[in-house]
Every structure is written in structure tokens, then in C-alpha cells.
Chain A
Amino acid sequence: DQQVKQNSPSLSVQEGRISILNCDYTNSMFDYFLWYKKYPAEGPTFLISISSIKDKNEDGRFTVFLNKSAKHLSLHIVPSQPGDSAVYFCAARPNTGNQFYFGTGTSLTVIP
């Protein structure tokens, strides 16, 4: 039962353009959402997060948008850089407990 879904396994974007990675969830009890970035042969690293009381959080080139009614969040990277090429995982945590649910990841390739 995949409670967090990333329906696009891969995405290719030209350098300088915007990358938009999408994530959907099913559990209305989720109240905190995170994005992680993973390079090959490394562990995932935390990128950006958003609480359910917000609909947008921005950190430099990275912005996460949350649409609670649609149970959808997205990560925008602008401008995209070749070093952004990695697998991106979204994750969600319910308002009770400390369990984190991860999506299956989207592999982003930024073409120079």
C-alpha cells in the first residue's frame, strides 16, 4: 500500500530551465512533507520540507508547493543545474508517531 507516490520515474530538463517533480499522497493524516536528494552510492540527503500549515516553502533555487485538497506536492528547481542530476524522493510524516513514508523516487537528469 503505497501511501506516497511519485508517478514519474524519470525526468530530463535542459540546464537553466525549471524542473518540476511531483508527488501524491493518500493519507490525510500526513502533516509534514520532505524532499530528499540521492546521488548514486550515497545516502539520501535532506533538501527541503514543508508543514501542512503552509502551502509554499522556498530555499534558494528550491521551492516546495503543497496542495492539501489535492493531496499533492511538488518540488520546483529553478534554474536547473547539471549538479542537480540525482534521484529525488518525497516523504511524508503523519501527525502521530514518527514514521516516514517515502515515494519510489524520480530520477532527474539536467542536460548541459
Chain B
Amino acid sequence: GAGVSQSPSNKVTEKGKDVELRCDPISGHTALYWYRQSLGQGLEFLIYFQGNSAPDKSGLPSDRFSAERTGGSVSTLTIQRTQQEDSAVYLCASSLGGQGIHGNTIYFGEGSWLTVV
């Protein structure tokens, strides 16, 4: 697609339920990133994929968080047993990947706004 697409755009869920957030990166982008921004906070890195593998998942806050990417394209971020502190906007981004100037810019989607009540 023309840009990074995320779904759902908004999700309200009850505490304790599981949620899945989807990201469809820009076509041809090999690198995919998940960030989140809680209210009043900066961008918090969660996980990064190069192709289908995740060289860096150091930002996942707990073992309730997991992510996968299949076919080098779509990625799903899963949050199990959601807690109120998980409420945030979850941002996905992609880049061409690789070294060199053309791989150096990442492009963000509009975000998935998660509210845990």
C-alpha cells in the first residue's frame, strides 16, 4: 500500500482480555518497528523486525507482550491479559531496511489507540 496501515484504529477492551493489533507495512519495506506512546510520554520502542526475525525485542514490557511477522510483511502485536497501564497508542513503522541512505527513514502508521477499562 501507499503507507503503513494499522488496525484497529481504536480499541476499547476490558482488563484481562487479550488484544491483537495489526500492522501492514509499506510494500517492499523489510524492516518493521513497533513503538508505543502512553499519555504524556515519548515514543517507547517495543520490538523491531528485519524480515520475519526480530533482532531486537528488548523493549517488550513484559511476557504478556508478543509480536510476530509473517511473509516479511504483516505484523501482529499481541497483548495478553491486558492491564490498564497498557492503555496507549501503539505505533507501527517500516523502512526499506539495510544499510545506506535509502534505508534510513522510517515511516509511521496512524497508530492503534488502545484503552483498557
| A contact residues vs B (CB 8 Å cutoff) | 6, 32, 34, 36, 41-46, 49, 51, 89, 91, 93, 95, 97-105
Contact = CB atoms under 8 A, between A and B. Distances in A.
Contacts of A6: 42
A32 B106 CA distance: 12
Contacts of A93: 104
A46 B105 contact: yes
Q: How large is the interface on B (under 10, 10 to 19, 20 to 34, 35 or more residues)?
A: 20 to 34
A103 B42 contact: yes
A46 B4 CA distance: 13
Most buried by B among A41, A42, A44, A93: A44
What 5 A-B pairs have minimum CB-CB distances, sorted nearest first?
Answer: A104-B42, A43-B108, A102-B43, A98-B31, A43-B110
Contact of A43 (B41, B91, B95): B91
Interface of B: 4, 31, 33, 35, 41-43, 45, 48, 50, 55-56, 91, 93, 95, 97-99, 101, 103-111, 113
Contacts of B45: 99-102
A90 to B, nearest CB: 10
B104 A42 contact: no
A44 B43 contact: yes
A68 B93 CA distance: 27
Contact of A42 (B33, B56, B95, B110): B110
A102 B42 contact: yes
Nearest to B31: A98
A34 B106 CA distance: 9
A100 B33 contact: yes
Contacts of B50: 98
B111 A43 contact: yes
B51 to A, nearest CB: 11
B117 to A, nearest CB: 19
Given A34-B104, A93-B104, A98-B103, 8 more contacts: A43-B4, A44-B43, A46-B107, A89-B43, A99-B45, A102-B35, A102-B45, A105-B42
A16 B29 CA distance: 38
B105 A44 contact: no
